[in-house]
Amino acid sequence: MAVLPPGYSIRRIEPRDYEEVVETLKVLTVVGDVTRAKFEETVEFWNNSTVKAGNAEIRAYNPHVIVNAEGRVVATGTVLIERKIIRNCGLVGHVEDIAVAKDQQGKQLGLLLIQYLTRLAHEAGCYKVILDCDEKNVGFYEKCGYRRCGVEMDHRL
């Protein structure tokens, strides 16, 4: 079973993670010109968005980081919880924006983060957790317990 390296831990994103989260996300895609103020405002929005899960109020956005022994952010990812009518007014978790710093590959941080977010979503009551990925990452997500179930399609202007 995979475990975090000594001194590493997982926690929610905080406003002070600005520089390191932005840097880490660049491994995944285009981040663009995100100022500290915009980052902090987004984290505040995420923290204030809730969703009712049974009788509990939980957070709709669950952005996390893995930090190393020195407290540096080395991976990030989130799970957004959506409320539906289908499946008995079911909840669905959407795992999004998974990125691991280039110099941290091989430590199973991606796997540990996915397992953490998946468990968080199921414990909140989600009947399923889904994610979209490139064909080349299917093998990795299968190791995380996911299986191929459909096609992702997009519309861009």
Residue 34: name its binding partner from ligand 16G, a second copy, none (Cβ under 5 to 8 Å by kind): a second copy
Beta bridge mates, 81: 93
Minimal distance in Å, beta carbon 104 to a second copy? 19
**CA–CA separation, 17 and 99 (whole Å):** 14
Closest CA to 148 of 122, 125, 130: 130
**CA–CA separation, 76 and 101 (whole Å):** 9
Question: With CB under 8 A as the contact rule, which of the stretches 4-12, 35-43, 66-74, 100-108 interacts with a second copy?
Answer: 35-43
Select the residue interacting with a second copy from 34, 56, 69, 143 (CB under 8 A): 34
**Ramachandran sector of residue 113 (left: φ over 0; alpha: ψ -120 to 50; beta: rest):** alpha
One character per residue 112-141, x = contact with a second copy (rule: CB under 8 A): ------x---x----xxxxxxxxx--x--x
* Mutual angle of helices 36-48 and 18-25, in 10-degree steps: 90
Residue 145: name its binding partner from a second copy, ligand 16G, none (Cβ under 5 to 8 Å by kind): a second copy
**CA–CA separation, 77 and 8 (whole Å):** 16
Q: Which residue is nearest to ligand 16G (CB)?
A: 29
Q: Which three-class secondary structure state does DSSP give residue 3?
A: coil
98 binds ligand 16G per the rule CB under 6 A: yes
Summarize as ranges the residues that interact with a second copy (CB under 8 A).
21-22, 25, 28-34, 38-39, 41-42, 45-46, 49, 51-52, 60-61, 80, 82-90, 94, 96-97, 118, 122, 127-135, 138, 141-142, 144-157
